[in-house]
Amino acid sequence: MLNKYLNVREDVLAAIEKGEAVVALESTIISHGMPYPQNVETALQCEKFISERGAIPATIGIIKGRLIVGLTEEEIEYMGKEEGIVKVSRRDLPFIVARGGDGATTVAATMIIAALAGIKVFATGGIGGVHRNAQETFDISADLQELANTNVAVVCAGAKSILDIALTLEYLETYGVPVVGYQTEEFPAFYTRKSGHAVDYKVESAEELAQAIKAKWDLNLNGGIVVANPIPEADELDSELITQAIDDAVREAEAQGIQGKETTPFLLAKVKDITAGESLTANIELVYNNSRVAAELAVALSRL
């Protein structure tokens, strides 16, 4: 049945069937997260870092209604340049597929498709979460529900600092999603290494993390794991600068009535402008860092 919808690149499929290390990557960062050509360059470099560490990279996207697990270099270029590619989360998947459309997968959609293909590790930039003023707007990312239900470990630089991080962590706790700090006791805030909030557990190595993840799923404790991997110290932004930039961007979004899935791309673009491009550089470096750690985790899991 799934073959009707799912295309898995040959080398990715072979690795999955042999129980070898595979790392999923999303495509929203390509189509909606960065300008061209940095988006394509970043996506290809992430794949290179993963390959160098002994895992197979599998960038996920939707082209002409097909769920593609393992985009080719030409397909990544297409995702980076083509206009009108839809940002796809769980609710959008059936319609984009049925209509034969093109879609860039969010964290939630990438988790779903990775799980369908049998991939257990996914590297992204930052997870979505509870938006500021959610008590009035009820704006909560579908990423959180996917983490509650889908068996994929998500390596990220924490939650985007445009969100309400305290409420995001509270939501994850309610749904039993472990938030694990990779060599850190503090949950990172995307552009910065610290948020003022603690993680549930700290691990020092990919091997230690892999043991805990295996135990979770062996015990039929379904759902994902947030692997919080801070941006490298040399690349983090000044906390006061980024806080001011985000506050200004949030006020502008509210003034323009921007809501829902358009909020995050708008805020990230405004923060990039306010920080004179520094946030884009930081974004690229943290994604590279997450790709490296995800590859090490996938290799460690494959050995168990």
Q: Looking at the annotation, which residues are catalytic?
A: 26, 160
3-state secondary structure of 197: coil
230 with 188: CB under 8 angstroms?
Answer: yes
Q: Identify which of 49, 172, 27 has the alpha carbon closest to the alpha carbon of residue 114.
A: 27
**What stretches of 22-119 show up as alpha helix (H) in DSSP?**
28, 38-52, 73-81, 93-98, 107-117
What distance in Å separates the CA atoms of residue 37 and residue 40, rounded to the nearest whole number?
Answer: 6
- Backbone φ/ψ region at 296: left (φ over 0), alpha (ψ -120 to 50), beta: alpha
Label the pairing between strands 86-88 and 103-105.
Answer: parallel
In whole angstroms, what is the distance from residue 160 CA to residue 127 CA? 7
Confirm if 55 and 11 have CB atoms less than 8 A apart: no
CA dihedral of 51, 52, 53, 58, whole degrees rounded to 10:
-10
Quickly tell me which residue has 């909606």 as its tokens.
Answer: 32
**Six-digit token pair at 67?**
């769920």
**Residue 106: strand, helix, or coil:** coil
Q: Is the dihedral of CA 57, 59, 64, 66 positive or negative?
A: positive
Q: Rounded to the nearest 10 degrees, what angle do helices 73-81 and 38-52 cross at?
A: 150
Neighbours of 234 (CB within 10 A): 6
Sequence letter at residue 281: T
